[in-house]
Amino acid sequence: MKPSIEYLQDAIEKLGVENDSKAAAALKISKQAICSYRSGERIMDDFTCIMVAKTLGIDGMEVIAAAQMEREKNEERREIWADFRKKFGVKAGIAQDWQ
């Protein structure tokens, strides 16, 4: 499954900006946040996930689920997020029922 940072990188590429300051302005976040996400110091918050998804033209839940799965420290809960992502259709790009 695609890690959340790849969504951010894809969004920055799609924006076609030449530096993190311009990417941050377009995504309505700080340059420091982008640096923290890229370094792995932090995982994107839900607002950033939504802005990234909006830029990419995809469902925000796809990016939020990726970030939540990475953020989760409890293995059982992480597996539930992974299952949700599969049932949500993240790999196929198709939203499916999740029960």
Ordered by where they begin, the domains of the chain are 4-88 (1.10.260)
Task: Say what the pLDDT of residue 94 is.
Answer: 45
Task: Say what the pLDDT of residue 88 is.
Answer: 73
The C-alpha atoms of residue 62 and residue 52 are separated, in whole angstroms, by 10
Render each residue's pLDDT in the chain as its tens digit; 99 residues. Answer: 899 999 999 999 999 999 999 999 999 999 999 999 999 999 999 999 999 999 999 999 999 999 999 999 999 999 999 999 888 764 444 444 434
Task: For 42-69, give one letter per residue: b (16+ CB within 10 A) or e.
Answer: bbbeeebbbbbbebbebbbbbbbbbbbb
First and final C-alpha spacing in the chain: 20
Task: Say what the pLDDT of residue 87 is.
Answer: 81
The C-alpha atoms of residue 98 and residue 23 are separated, in whole angstroms, by 33
Classify the phi-psi angles of 57: left when phi > 0, otherwise alpha if psi is within -120 to 50, otherwise beta: left
